[in-house]
Structure 1
């Protein structure tokens, strides 16, 4: 499994549509993490100013229709999905709880 952070306002995609975050157009791939702890580190570093609820999508790699590559960034290996993500590749959605400064407090099942 791999993990992807998304603002709640962007999930789920419209019925019958695949998920296409802005990074797919601007960078050519969807940023993901190899585990939940790293996803929370990414949230702390890059999503602190993003308002509202953040969701952590759990993606089943075997259900991806786009190419998945593990690539180096900041001295670590991260999974990048080179195409849109079909909603059926998402096997779980969790809310990332954050404090007033945007720092992660942990994950909770989506209500």
Structure 2
């Protein structure tokens, strides 16, 4: 059993994904198609991610994702040598892989 990973997003984007059946937003303002993967975090990384990219937004939610329910690779990668590795999901996230949705305040 893999440890859950998390993804912070706007509630409206999650609601649209629920209707579609898959979540495909990589990060704020960027889609999976544009970025090539979906940016995620560990629980410990989440506050920093929220401060860095979402501090000016309201009505955010945290998607709690079970990697064992994904049918695409999850790779822990860094953007520079010696940097912190973040989980990247290389494909759409099925709604069924999201085991919880938490409000972010």
Q: TM-score normalised by the shorter chain: which range applies?
A: 0.7 to 0.9
Aligned length: 95
Aligned equivalent of 1:86, options 81, 88, 94: 94
- Asked if residue 24 in structure 1 is aligned to residue 24 in structure 2, the reply is no
Q: Which structure is higher in RCO with an 8 Å CA cutoff and minimum separation 6?
A: 2
Structure-2-length-normalised TM-score: 0.82
- Structure 1 stretches lacking a partner, 5+ long: 98-111
Q: Which runs of 5+ in 2 are unaligned?
A: none
- Change over 3 Å in CA distance of 1:65–1:44 after alignment to 2: same
Higher relative helix content: 2
**Equivalent in 74, 84, 101 of residue 76 of structure 1:** 84
- How far off is 1:73 after superposition? 3.1
Task: Name 1:67's counterpart in structure 2.
Answer: 73
Match of 1:62, SS?
Answer: helix
* Distance in 1 between residues matched to 2:35 and 2:45, nearest whole Å: 20
Quick one: distance in 2 between partners of 1:84 and 1:20? 5
Instruction: Output the TM-score relative to the length of structure 1.
Output: 0.78
